[in-house]
Amino acid sequence: MEIIDIRNILLDNSKIASVVCYKDKRYMDISYPIFVSCELIVADNNIPIYIGIPTKWDMELVDFYIENYKEFPYMPHIDTKGKICLYELEGVLIDGDIEGIINQCIHKAIIIISEGLSGSNKGDFIDEFSLYWCQFSNIRCIQCDVPSENKTQVIKYVENVVERGKKEKYVTYIEKNKKSNLFASYNSEAFKLWNKSGTQKNGGYICLKPEEYIYPPDARNGFDITYVNKLMSYIPKKKMSLVLSKMSNSKLLIFCIIQPNGVENYIGVFLKNVCVQEDGELYKIIKTSSTEVYPLSVHRIDKNYLMNRVKNDRKTFAGRKWLVVGCGSIGGYLVNEIVKAGADKITLVDNDILSGENIYRHLLGIEYVGQYKAEAITKYIGKNMPEVKMIPYDEDIYDLLEDENIQLDDFDIIVSATGNHNVNRWLNRLMHDKKYAIPVIYVWNEPLDLGCHVMVVNMAKQGCYECLFDRNGENEELFDKIAYCAPGQNITKNVMGCGNAFIPYASTVSLKSTALCMDIVSAVIDGRCDKNVIVSMKGSGYYFSQTGYEVSEKFLNQNDIMMVQEGEKFSKKNCELCS
């Protein structure tokens, strides 16, 4: 890319005038190999702009700046340094054609400026409120566990204290502390969950529902306390009094602005050494000689917000009562995923203890060795995920039901991740005997890299777990019809004698099982899976064959990686349970 090429591209564009090109120029702390001063023609206006061509233009596009940005009208998509936000690069495929890129960016810049001058894109301020709020030079950050109920109320906050270096000047230390982050929550448990210590002080959560739009202030002018007073004017004096009376002369206020179109904007302010004064039917913040004012960028950590990156359909995981039987390799990963999908009421059952040899194929590591798996997973989730109610039982599922410590019909969905056919057959029989029309998801791995299976059984529908088994015609021995491993082989390994046998497979197989199970569970919850089904995922079988074991006819005859069978197809005509 040569400077003459860029000059010719710009001169050929009828919307560009007065082109002057520079080589290797630094602007706004960015080095550009080619930098251009020119005029952008927008309607009848010739607007002086700069165009910076970065080294990695094929990955970053090009940068457009308003030359006299301090005097330029305040409008969306132009930051405090005059840079025009042309495109959001996330997910954009950039064509390596510099002429096409420059001309496309010129076209987009004209649209942004013309809409800004006319005011037709003013609504973008609302959609991107926090972006403009965060442009203040003295902005600080606050992690905020936003209350689930949108009403004005008292919340707690802590200010993170930065340690002073051994040779650090006191003035430098004070300035560093001024930039440290804060943490706020309406729930005292959140401070433990997010490992936030320090003195908890009272702050305020202020919920506004204005009839007209509230726009972000122009950050080029600095932050003015009158903006805070304007926001407070929307709240009746009595409500504000309940919040302000609980605070000292330092005020932390988080504002939730519910705009007329329903968009919620969250901003905050931290005011040190201020006074509160009555002003008719309102309260007013007054500066003192030692007042410090900090706008706050609010980083929400409440569950509702954190779930936004999860597909909307996964939010239906919440509110249901889950029973997960088996907290081993599959169960550990699976519990972690259903929690991340929104599940918040989970009962775990497993009477096994996590041993050292478990950790290379389990969600949990050395920290939890020697603990019951159900208890350990509960601790792990409690440390890392907010607002999840988990009840662990370190007992056998059979004993729990016999003693009536739990009732199967208390749950909305049951998952058996034991990988044990005997336990699964017993559970399947129990569900049919009790006539519980509750979906049960069975998930298990095949040895080594043969594959995995997920099965959905509801006793009200055709086909059940018992239908997977038949008897050999020669010796009447029971065998699994859908297994990828040929029957009659002992696949278990044992490294420590009796009582320590295990089926060999890697954590990657459990991860595949978990991902497959999550898809099936989602379909069940959404009503997209209205029949009993079994989904079998075939692995490569390479490592299995290397050991000298034999695969089944089922493995050899399955041409596709994934095979789905509905209940009508896999059910046995003579099944004593479901036929």
Q: Are residues 256 and 379 in the same domain?
A: no
On whether residue 578 sits in a domain, the answer given is no
Residues 58 and 144 in one domain: no
Q: 504-529, pLDDT tens digit by residue?
A: 677 889 999 999 999 999 999 988 99
Q: Which two tokens stand for residue 482?
A: 């859908």
Residues 320 and 297 in one domain: no
pTM: 0.74
Domain limit, last residue, from 88, 122, 156: 122
Are residues 273 and 389 located together in one domain of the fold?
no
Note whether residue 373 is domain-resident. yes
Contact of 377 with 393, CB cutoff 8 Å: no
- Three-state secondary structure of 482-534: CCCECCCCCCCEECCCCCCEECCCCHHHHHHHHHHHHHHHHHHHHCCCCCCEE
Domain holding 401, by residue range, is 309-570
Identify the domain boundary among 122, 146, 162. Answer: 122
The reply to whether 575 falls in a domain is no
Q: What digits encode the pLDDT tens for the residues 340-372?
A: 998 999 999 999 999 988 888 899 999 999 999
Place of tokens 């094929």: 58
Angle at the Cα of 120 from the Cα atoms of 114 and 136, rounded to 5 degrees: 85
Query: With bands split at pLDDT 50, 70 and 90, how would you rate the model's confidence at 164?
Result: low
Torsion angle of C-alpha atoms 196, 308, 439, 326, degrees rounded to 10: -30
Q: Please, what is the Cα angle at 371 between 370 and 372, to 5 degrees?
A: 130
Residues 258 and 325 in one domain: no
Res 309: pLDDT: 62
- Residue 418 in any domain: the answer is yes
Per-residue pLDDT tens for 419-453? 999 999 999 999 999 999 999 999 999 988 899 99
64 and 174 co-located in one domain: no
- Between CA 274 and CA 290 the distance in angstroms is 8
DSSP string, 14-51: TTEEEEEEEEEEEETTEEEEEEEEEEEEETTEEEEEEE
Q: Which of 122, 138, 167 is the last residue of a domain?
A: 122
Residue 110: inside a domain, yes or no? yes
CA distances from residue 259 to 103, 127, 232, 256, 262 in whole angstroms, order as listed: 36, 10, 15, 9, 5
Average pLDDT estimate for 110-120: 96
Given this model, what pLDDT does residue 497 score? 41
Confidence check: pLDDT of 21 > 60: yes
Residue 260's nearest CA partner among 326, 305, 219, 214 is 214
Q: Which token pair is 5?
A: 């090429």
Are 196 and 109 in contact by the 8 Å Cβ rule? The answer is no
Q: What are the tokens at 200?
A: 């908890």
Beta-sheet pairing, 322-325 with 345-349: parallel
> In this structure, what CATH number is given to the domain that contains residue 511?
3.40.50.720
On whether residue 577 sits in a domain, the answer given is: no
φ/ψ of 324, rounded to 5, equals -115, 120
Tell whether 116 and 205 lie within a shared domain. Answer: no
Number of domains making up the chain:
3
DSSP conformational letter for 80: T
Looking at the fold, whether 108 and 170 belong to one and the same domain comes out as: no
Query: Considering the domain boundaries, does residue 382 fall inside one?
Result: yes
- Identify whether 92 is part of a domain: yes
